[in-house]
């Protein structure tokens, strides 16, 4: 297969040269015969429709034993409601929420917390770090600039590794680049990561070697421009799902992720840069900590019943830890402006608190989403 044939077979090329620029039609379709791809699957399971009980394996065509329709799903409930008056007869029984065959209305994501929540945290740290690194370079802080570029490269490398580990095989990430679909947060995020990674790598390599300064400046600017999107797009990706704790928080979640990422990157700048260059990082840490705490408070107040998943269980413990650690990190950043041992100890405490608090925020949001997908009252909200 020649290079020209390979390029012409790429769906993105067909998008750019054809009549389907958004990749919603023929441009995104493969020319290969449509067939079940079971040979390359991790595992094959028996599938059965939760509504009509029609299966695809083992000769299942009729309702399975124990899977009969449930006419009692609309039975009258006990307690509550308006008391009947004498002589009245309830013609329509009060409905109770029950899904077909007892199956959940929405399916909880199959993502691994260690991989995806870690991907959220590390991607945010990398993106915000590139912005601070570019700002340090523009303001004449070369040591901090170089260190932040290297830390951003390390963070985005680990972030991509976590994503690929969750996908199972590296070629699955490559498959995500088959189309460029502006209406899909996952497609746009894949392209964002693919563009940011080389830019961050080039910026770090030129900073360490001191060669190709113009190329390094262009790469630094590119990484800084893509950094905010990388830090916040994962919130859009989560909010685009039907998971109540993520979807209902679509207004505040991007700001929460951006503030948390900035706090973590500012904490990283405090530890990698010399004391004479960390003034802007201290101010950024304080402002980001305030924004993080304020956004989390507003989000929980607005969510109503959905906010219970952010207050209870493992998600509640993580979110409370994130609140305490972020506040402590902001206070430590203020105290680190002083001189002496107190300032040194405060700087170390601020770094550890801000980084750990940002990680707790990502893992707390992730766990809240999983809990809300398993909660029947919240499933009822999703089905409404």
Share of the chain above pLDDT 70, in %: 73
**Triad 72, 375, 69: Cα angle to 5°:** 25
> In the predicted model, what is the mean pLDDT of residues 252-264?
94
Which is nearest to 232 in space by CA: 325, 365, 120? 120
Q: What is the tens place of the pLDDT at every residue in 5-63?
A: 767 667 776 777 777 777 776 666 666 656 555 556 666 555 444 444 444 444 333 44
> In the predicted model, what is the mean pLDDT of residues 296-303?
92
How much is the pTM? 0.76
Query: Domain limits of the chain?
Result: 113-383
Which is nearest to 204 in space by CA: 130, 273, 280, 140? 130
pLDDT of residue 123: 93
What's the chain's average pLDDT?
Answer: 80
pLDDT of residue 11: 72
- DSSP alpha helices (H): ranges in 240-340? 244-247, 253-272, 279-303, 308-311, 313-335
Instruction: Choose from 10-19, 87-96, 213-222, 267-276 the range with maximum mean pLDDT.
Output: 213-222
- DSSP alpha helices (H): ranges in the chain? 3-8, 11-17, 118-138, 142-167, 170-175, 185-209, 213-239, 244-247, 253-272, 279-303, 308-311, 313-335, 341-373, 376-383
Return d(Cα 67, Cα 64) in angstroms, integer. Answer: 5
Which CATH number applies to 113-383? 1.20.1630.10
Return d(Cα 329, Cα 357) in angstroms, integer. Answer: 8
| Position 80 pLDDT exceeds 80 | no
């Amino acid at each position: 297969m020649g290079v020209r044939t390979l390029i012409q077979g790429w769906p993105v090329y067909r998008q750019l040269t054809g009549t389907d620029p958004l990749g919603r039609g023929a441009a995104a379709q493969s020319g290969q015969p449509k067939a079940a791809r079971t040979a390359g699957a991790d595992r094959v399971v028996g599938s059965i429709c939760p509504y009509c009980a029609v299966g695809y394996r083992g000769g299942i065509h009729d309702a399975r034993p124990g899977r009969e329709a449930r006419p009692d799903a609309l039975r009258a409930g006990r307690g509550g409601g308006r008391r009947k008056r004498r002589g009245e007869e309830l013609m329509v029984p009060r409905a109770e929420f029950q899904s077909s065959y007892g199956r959940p209305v929405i399916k909880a994501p199959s993502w691994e917390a260690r991989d995806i929540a870690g991907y959220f945290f590390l991607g945010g740290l990398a993106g915000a770090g590139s912005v601070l690194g570019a700002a340090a370079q523009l303001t004449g802080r070369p040591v901090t600039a170089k260190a932040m570029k290297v830390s951003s490269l390390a963070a985005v490398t680990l972030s991509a590794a976590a994503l690929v580990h969750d996908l199972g095989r590296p070629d699955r990430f490559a498959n995500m680049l088959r189309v460029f679909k502006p209406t899909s947060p996952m497609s746009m995020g894949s392209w964002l990561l693919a563009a940011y990674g080389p830019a961050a790598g080039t910026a770090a390599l030129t900073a360490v070697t001191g060669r190709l300064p113009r190329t390094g400046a262009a790469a630094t600017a590119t990484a800084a421009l893509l950094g905010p999107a990388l830090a916040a797009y994962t919130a859009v990706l989560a909010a685009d799902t039907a998971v109540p704790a993520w979807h209902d928080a679509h207004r505040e979640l991007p700001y929460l992720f951006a503030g948390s990422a900035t706090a973590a990157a500012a904490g990283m700048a405090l530890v990698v840069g010399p004391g004479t260059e960390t003034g802007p990082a201290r101010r950024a840490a304080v402002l980001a900590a305030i924004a993080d705490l304020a956004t989390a408070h507003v989000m929980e107040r607005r969510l109503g019943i959905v906010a219970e998943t952010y207050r209870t269980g493992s998600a509640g413990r993580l979110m409370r830890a994130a609140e305490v650690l972020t506040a402590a990190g902001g206070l430590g950043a203020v105290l680190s402006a002083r001189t002496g041992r107190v300032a040194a100890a405060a700087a170390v405490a601020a770094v550890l608190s801000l980084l750990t608090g940002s990680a707790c925020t990502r893992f707390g949001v992730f766990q809240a989403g999983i809990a809300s997908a398993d909660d029947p009252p919240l499933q009822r909200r999703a089905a409404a």
